[in-house]
Chain A
Amino acid sequence: EVQLVESGEGLVQPGGSLRLSCVASGFTFSDHYMDWVRQAPGKGLEWVGRIRNKANSYTTDYAAPVKGRFTISRDDSKNSLYLQMNSLNIEDTAVYYCVGLSHDSRGYWFHDYWGQGTLVTVSS
């Protein structure tokens, strides 16, 4: 059974930092690209960023609202994904999901595996 378990939930003041972690099991974590997706309370889904696998040099991409403030990393030896969040502001308040990507033989990519989400609250 595939499992993605996030941790690091917390309340942080504006301007502060927080690190989220995600531990994967039930699939070959090292093969997969991994994303973070967030959802503000009562709002829709927002892609945050991506880290590719070793074969693709662990390259990363970020959505414009978080670029320069958030950093995604991974440790394949621990089946773990991380999200370092700096300079947090109120708009970053959301449930953050760890998500595994898959693709089919035709090259269609999609979000296949989802964690349960972890809540980040930015408030003074």
Chain B
Amino acid sequence: DIQMTQSPSSLSASVGDRVTISCRASQSISTSLNWYQQKPGKAPNLLIYGASTLQSGVPSRFSGSGSETDFTLTISSLQPEDFATYYCQHSYNIFWKFGQGTKVEIK
């Protein structure tokens, strides 16, 4: 099983801040890495796939990078609507796994 580990588990930030979330895979997954945003009581929403491809309709302040085992989601300038929980997910093999999530809270 490929395990996904996100850090930090939570963070506090202010509107306008640059925010970085890390995701590490327990083995190489090339660039088969997706990022999702989830707001309370709602289904997750795809932000980035293939480690760095922005899903259609997602604001350009979101970006993704990385390969093999280490990946990063960056929000260049945090907006009020970005306070949410973010999950990474690998799609490298049949058994997709999510990271445990990173909750972005208002400072």
Contacts and interface: CB of A to CB of B under 8 A. Distances in A.
Interface of A: 35, 44-47, 50, 61, 63-64, 97, 104, 106, 108-112, 114-117
Contact of A61 (B1, B31, B95): B95
Interface of B: 1, 31-32, 34, 36, 38, 42-46, 49-50, 53, 55, 87, 89, 91, 94-101
26 contacts: A44-B98, A44-B101, A45-B36, A45-B38, A45-B87, A46-B98, A47-B96, A47-B97, A61-B95, A104-B49, A104-B53, A108-B31, A108-B49, A108-B53, A109-B49, A110-B49, A110-B50, A110-B55, A110-B89, A110-B91, A111-B46, A114-B44, A114-B45, A115-B43, A116-B42, A116-B43
B46 A50 contact: no
A100 B31 CA distance: 21
Contact of B50 (A44, A46, A104, A112): A104
A106 B96 CA distance: 18
Contacts of B1: 64
Per DSSP, are chain A's interface residues mostly helix, strand or loop, or mixed?
A: strand
A97 B43 CA distance: 8
Given A44-B101, A104-B53, A61 B46 contact: no
Contact of A108 (B44, B91, B101): B91
Nearest to B51: A108
A111 B34 contact: yes
Nearest to A110: B49
Contacts of A117: 43
A94 B15 CA distance: 32
Given A44-B99, A44-B100, A111 B89 contact: yes
A95 to B, nearest CB: 9
A116 B44 CA distance: 9
